[in-house]
Amino acid sequence: MAGAWYLHHVGDDDRERAIEAIVAPSRQRTRSPRWLWATALVIGAGCAVAFVVVLFRGGDATPSGPAPAATATGHGFATGLALGIGVGIAIGFLIARRPQSSATAADHSSRSRP
C-alpha cells in the first residue's frame, strides 16, 4: 500500500470544490479606500510636525522649588522573591494536579503496560 495516498476517490472532487469555495474569498485582498490613506497621511504628518516642534522648542517648565526627597516605599527584594516562589509553586501544583485527557493518560502512564 506504499504510495496509495495519491489514489483518486469519487467524492474528492466535490469535497475539493467545497473547500475551494470556502477558501477563495479569504484569498481575495480587499483594497483600502483612498480616504483612509489620506486620513492616515494627514494624521501622520501632523504628528511628525508636532514632534519636530516639541524637539526644537524645548520644554518651558521651570521647577517651582526643590525636588522632594525620594522615599523607599517598596517591600524589598526578599519579599518579591518569596512571593514569586510561592506563586510559582502554587501554579506548578495546579498544573500537576490537572486531570489528564484519557487519550494522553493511557499513552503515557507507566501503569497501562506492565
Query: What digits encode the pLDDT tens for the residues 9-52?
Result: 556 788 888 888 888 887 777 788 899 999 999 999 999 999 99
Tell me what pLDDT residue 77 has: 85
Q: Would the pLDDT of 85 be above 90?
A: yes
| pTM for the structure as a whole | 0.33
Buried b (16+ CB within 10 A) or exposed e, 29-49: eeeeeeeeeeeeeeeeeeeee
**pLDDT category of residue 101 using cuts at 50, 70 and 90:** low
Amino acid at 91: I
